[in-house]
Chain A
Amino acid sequence: MRFRIPELARHGLVLLAWSLLGPCPRAQAQRTSPADSLRVHQLITQAKQVGSDTLRHRQLLQQALRLSQAAHYDYGVGTTYNEFSILASTRSDYPADSLYLHRARQVLQALQRRQPTDPRVIRKLADVDGNWIVHLQRTGRYATAVEAMLAALDYQRQHKLYATQVITYYNIGATLAALGQRRQAVYYWKEGLQLRPQAPEQGVLVLLAASLASYYNDSKELPAARKYLELCQELSSEEAGRQYRFQYLWMLGKSEMDQGHLNFGVKMLDQSLSLARQQAGVDDVGVLLMEAARGHMQIGHYEQARLYLREALTIFRNSNMPEKKDMYESLTEVEEKTGHPAQALHYLRQLNTFKDSLASVEVKTQLNALETQYQTREKEQRIRLLQQNHTLQARELRRQHQLTYGAFALVAALLGAGGLGYAALRNRRQLERQQQQLQAQKIQELEQERQLLATEAMLRGQEEERSRLARDLHDGLGGMLSTVKLYLGSVRGNVVLPEASAQLFARSLEHLDGSISELRRVARDMMPEALLQFGLVPALRDICQALGHREQLRVQCQAYGLEEQRLPQRTEVVVYRLIQELLNNVLKHAQASEVLVQLMRDGNHIQLVVEDDGQGFDPATVRGGVGLRSIQARVDYLRGTLDLQTAPGQGTTTTIDFDVPPGSLVEEASRSARFTD
């Protein structure tokens, strides 16, 4: 099972380390009594210590904010907002995070203008900057984040904020790593570690060491990896680094597992997890749960993996990170393995829903492929079962043969059995190969079927929507505009207007007229009423007439064999759209003076030809344009073939051939009785 550990989530979380620089309670505030400011910082410190009780955390911060505001203690206000943002960030509430950071910065910048040299304010602003970077990163704006970080780094160097610098180095590295530039990341991480003498109390050093160890571990430079892992251990044993002890254990667990010490590695991950539950943010715990679940799956502890994954799912229930897909996939597998097929199906559905929520055509295509894979897997299993049966039978047969031969002669029997065994083996191999081919064929068929169904559903939805819109436009808006025109027209006769106004009035009426015609044209293009009511041939004539009427173009239409019988309505709409798009292409690109649209039915076979005498084009250069692709999609829907004959200067002939299912043709008479519903 593939299971990516989201680098970004891992690093992103740790960035909350900004908060751990903590306030400076000893600092004094202007215009504020030391008692008040002290109380504010006590509240903040207290708030941080409540840990996972976010409600209590919030209450304490609110108290701190009220107190600071009442005492006009701006530094306290800024600090509290910053704390609020951290709380919001832990809860993945990014809009709130952004708002609080914005407020914190406003207050602190105003304060800095009044006290430009106050080191506390300088440091706090750096913190806010840092948290903003975290925010940018967690909301996916990496490039902006890196820019902001490099700027922040200058600011920190200038003010000798070593501890903060360490964090910035770490963050730059983490962001670069997330963007796949891990070699550059290593540079920044090493720079950060070199600040250890200046900032020995900085716990983030653990993370730097862990990240470097991870890098070298992945690039198989094991001595370097071991060196940094040892450093990580050392740092995380110190007082300042203890809060990141879980990161060390995490790293250790991973590296042990990579070296094949699965059981020990999983044990370390479990330990890391229990520490993280006390020390880390929920996101961190979530990612760790995923990692640990992967470990447990590897050693066959599906029950434990299942618990972890479910917990991780609860944590990320509102998240849209792509790793969720893996989570659902793993859950599906684990539920299956632990004998909960219903749950497995549930997660498979969730997986699909989740992917639906990422609603882009591309994602949907992938989803379809995945669904096919799933169905194929089912088929595979069935095939495997059949194969097993077959093998059993073959074995049985062979045994009987052997017995028969045995009755004749022992030596001959032995030889015969050997020969027969060989033959059976070869036979089985061949059978397997056939099965495989059959299977591949089945997969392909399924895949095609799925794609067709998806296209069909999309086209149907599109047409229904268009039909509704067109009718609304035509009847609703069109009717109203016409009524307005009626009213205005009657006003004209009754009132004597000054010359200038009369002209304006007349022009308004003209414009209104133009609007009505335009609306009609739009509605007709969208879904011609005539198509639904009278069928393809009259609608085709309407469209050709309208075009011939409007452009410097002679449009000729002819239809054979469709006077008495109509195609199924959905097919009619698709063919109509094809004609529309092909004519559109002619109008836009061909510079033709004549175009022929020809529709022929011969039994169940339909052929559509659109031919112009325009400038043509080189199919090699134009192939795959949007227009052509949508034409191809519609032809696929009809399960037909598309043939394009063209060359520069030689006009273009598009021929589309398809069959309609026998018996699907509708007698014109029976349809016209129905079209009024």
Chain B
Amino acid sequence: MEPIRVLLVDDHRMVLEGLRVLLEPLEYIDVVGSAATAAEAFAVATATRPHVVLLDINLPDLNGIDVCQRLVAEQPAIKIIALTTLNERSYLTRMLQAGAVGYVLKNALPEELAEAITKVYAGKKFFSDEVQDLLLLPDPATAPEAAAPILTRREKEVLAFIADGLTSQEMADRLFLSPLTIETHRRNLLTKFDANNTATLIKAAARLALI
């Protein structure tokens, strides 16, 4: 069987060296090159046509996400594993959007790395355990759209008053606030319920059983 051709991209020479030392003894892996910058990575990738790229997100010249996007565009068959210390959902989702198929944290053990390389080469996806935890958590980005919007205490009060048909001035008097502040709350409520006017707001709130 032909060994898996692997390209290493990281701006720290020490990390590159460490990876190479670990991966080279494995007979099914062939480290075909390494690069410390994005520019180098593009050049080496074109020259060596690797199967798998271990790609650091923090590079001095270009962001790893953009590098990933461009490599995938140039060589659609290429498998990219993000190798990073950044354990954040924002990076994870963006790397996946850019076409990465693996996300491995830098504190991975050698066997984990090797497993990641073989898996993605076989067309599967691979994520470090901690990253999987991250994926399992509910995504706060999609939460507000899916369910009822979350209201602050003040917004709940204002919503109730709106339902009771009070004017902004009357609410201001009851809550000891300026009518201007009440207007802000009212606008925020409209935004949250994606409503154009008070009537649709009341309707949406009633549907969600908030009033």
Residues 98-154 of B at the A interface (beta carbon under 8 Å): 106-111, 113, 133-134, 137, 139-141, 143-144, 149-150, 152-154
Q: Are A596 and B152 in touch, CB under 8 angstroms?
A: yes
Q: From the candidates B63, B94, B108, name the one contacting A676 in the complex (CB within 8 A).
A: B63
Interface 0/1 of A465-490, CB less than 8 Å to B: 00000010011101111110111011
Interface residues of B in 161-192 (CB under 8 A from A): 184, 187-188, 191-192
Binary interface encoding of chain A residues 531-550 relative to chain B, with 1 for a CB under 8 A from any of its CBs, else 0: 00110001101101110110
A602 to B154, CA, bound (A): 18
**A557 to B22 Cα, complex, angstroms:** 42
Q: How far is the CB of B149 from chain A (nearest CB, A)?
A: 7
Residue pair A516, B140 in contact (C-beta under 8 Å): no
Instruction: Across the interface, name the chain B residue whose C-beta is closest to A560.
Output: B191
B153 touches A482 (CB 8 A): no
B143 and A516: CB pair below 8 A?
no
Say which residue of A486, A534, A539 sits within 8 Å of B19 (CB atoms): A486
- Cα–Cα distance between A558 and B188 once the two chains are bound (Å): 12
Q: Identify whether the interface residues of B are mostly helix, strand, loop, or mixed.
A: helix
Is A529's CB under 8 angstroms from B109's CB?
no
Establish whether residues A493 and B111, one from each chain, have CB atoms under 8 Å apart when the complex forms. Answer: yes
When A480-B14, A520-B85 are in contact, do A607 and B188 touch as well, CB less than 8 Å? yes
Set A475, A486, A607: member contacting B18, Cβ < 8 A: A486
Could you say which residues of chain B place their CB within 8 Å of the CB of A541? 89-90, 139-141
A482 touches B85 (CB 8 A): yes
A513 to B62 alpha-carbon distance, docked (Å): 28
Which of B62, B107, B188 contacts A600 (CB under 8 A)? B188
Contacts of A428 in B (CB 8 A): none
Interface flag for A457 (CB, 8 Å): no
A545-B140 in contact given A487-B18, A493-B110, A560-B192 (Cβ < 8 Å): yes
How many A residues, CB 8 Å from partner?
56
A209 within 8 A of B: no
Whether A479 pairs with B10 at a CB distance below 8 angstroms is: yes
In the assembled complex, which residues on chain B have CB atoms less than 8 Å from the CB atom of A482?
A: 15, 85, 106-108
Q: Does B12 contact A (CB under 8 A)?
A: yes
- In whole Å, how far is B26's beta carbon from the nearest beta carbon of chain A? 10
State how many angstroms separate the Cβ of B179 from the closest Cβ of chain A: 15
Instruction: Chain B residues near A600: list those with CB within 8 A.
Output: 188, 191
| Interface assignment of B73: CB less than 8 Å from any CB of chain A | no
- Cβ contacts under 8 Å, A451 to chain B: none
Mask, B81-99, CB within 8 Å of A = 1, is: 0000111111100100000
Shortest distance between the CB of A298 and any CB in chain B (Å):
57
In the complex, which of the residues A480, A490, A653 contacts B110, with contact meaning CB atoms closer than 8 Å? A490
On chain B, the residues within 8 Å of A76 by CB distance are none
* Residue numbers in A under 8 Å from B19 (CB-CB): 486
Contact of B90 among A479, A481, A534 (CB under 8 A): A534
Smallest CB separation, B89 vs chain A (Å): 6
Q: Within the assembled complex, what's the spacing in Å between the Cα atoms of A592 and B204?
A: 29
B107→A474 contact, CB < 8 A:
no
- Kindly list chain B residues whose C-beta atoms are within 8 Å of the C-beta of A263: none
Alpha-carbon separation in the docked complex, A316 to B41 (Å): 61
Report whether A651 and B58 are in contact in the complex, using a CB–CB cutoff of 8 Å: no
B151 to chain A: closest CB distance in Å?
A: 9
List the B residue with the shortest CB-CB distance to A519. Answer: B85
B 7-30 contacts with A by CB, 8 A: 10-12, 14-15, 17-19, 21-22
Please, which residues of chain A bring their CB within 8 A of the CB of B40?
none
Interface assignment of B66: CB less than 8 Å from any CB of chain A: yes
Contacts of B106 in A (CB 8 A): 478-479, 482, 516
15 other A-B residue contacts (CB within 8 Å) besides A487-B18, A607-B188: A478-B106, A480-B14, A486-B109, A490-B21, A520-B86, A520-B87, A542-B90, A545-B89, A602-B184, A602-B188, A651-B153, A653-B153, A675-B63, A676-B62, A676-B63
Chain B residues proximal to chain A, CB less than 8 Å: 10-12, 14-15, 17-19, 21-22, 58, 61-63, 66, 85-91, 94, 106-111, 113, 133-134, 137, 139-141, 143-144, 149-150, 152-154, 184, 187-188, 191-192
4 closest A-B pairs (Cβ-Cβ)? Answer: A482-B106, A538-B90, A483-B18, A489-B109
30 contacts between A and B (CB under 8 A): A475-B58, A478-B106, A479-B106, A482-B85, A483-B15, A486-B19, A486-B22, A486-B108, A486-B110, A487-B18, A490-B22, A520-B85, A520-B86, A524-B88, A529-B58, A529-B88, A530-B88, A538-B89, A538-B90, A539-B90, A541-B89, A541-B90, A542-B88, A556-B150, A557-B140, A560-B191, A596-B150, A611-B152, A653-B153, A675-B63
